[in-house]
Amino acid sequence: MARVYCVANQKGGVGKTTTAVNLAAGVAKAGMRSLLVDLDPQCNATTGLGQSPTERHPLVDCRPLAESYVETNVPNLQLLPGCRSFQDIHALAGLDPSRTDLVAEHLAGSLGTFEYVWIDCPPSLGPLTETALASSTEVLMPIQCEYFAMEGLAQMIEVIRCVMGRPDSRLQFGGIVLTMHDPDLELTHEVDNEVRDFFGEIVFDTVVPRDIAAAEAPSHGQCVIDYAPRSRVARAYIELCQEVLERV
């Protein structure tokens, strides 16, 4: 059975999509069959891998999901591209509740050919994120090492707990990763200590540093591991992949 990671945080700009893309690529490079699902209407995960958004989102289209998988430039990594259609965004976001149930069933029953699946969620706590959580086995939450890192986190944790409490839920807390880590800033150390004191062992040992390479890579349609393999941020994502693979 695939390990399905929902990469989520209600706050934007925390490195959520960058983390989803590079973990998907890193795990694929380790030889695991991997799928990246773009559920964010901004479609940054799609364009960040050099692909184009679709006219209709595969999760609300009538075709089997397997027909919509796109090969990427990373071996073993396939992409379920995102869509910017207002009609499909409304359907995915739960304005049509019956469609949302179908999306969850579609996701849950169509991922068996992969070992790892990564779902890049929009920066919100809406029904689309809840649908992704309900379809996942684990949730991974990136947290930015800045002043507002903890703001709204209680709401996010509450949504996760509600999904975990459903009778048919498989969801577990896969971990928290600290992003945009700058060891020269006192604030970074304060946030790091506060998050680790509060959440304990579910926080990954690896931290993702602030690095311009992470911002440049998507404009070249590459993960940062390929774009700048010797950069600090690429090494960090490789180490984070190793931690993910070691957690059972």
Please, what are the averages of pLDDT over each run of 10 residues along the chain (248 residues)? 90 92 97 94 94 86 81 95 78 59 64 88 85 89 85 83 89 94 91 91 96 96 97 98 90
pTM, whole model, 2 decimals?
Answer: 0.92
Side-chain-facing half-sphere of 83: CA atoms under 13 Å: 19
Taking the domains of the chain in order of start, what are their residue ranges?
3-246
CA distances from 87 to 56, 61, 71, 93 (A): 9, 11, 26, 10
Residue type, 135: S
Residue 102's pLDDT is 61
- The 3-state DSSP class for residue 88 equals helix
Residue 95's pLDDT is 52
**Per-residue DSSP letters for 97-155?**
HHHHHHHHHHHHHS-TT-SEEEEE--SS-SHHHHHHHHT-SEEEEEEESSTTTTTTHHH
Q: Tell me: domain 3-246, CATH 3.30.70.260, correct?
A: no
Residue 88's pLDDT is 73
Residue 34's pLDDT is 95
Residue 85's pLDDT is 77
Residue 169's pLDDT is 86
Residue 63's pLDDT is 75
Distance from C-alpha of 155 to C-alpha of 60, rounded to nearest angstrom: 28
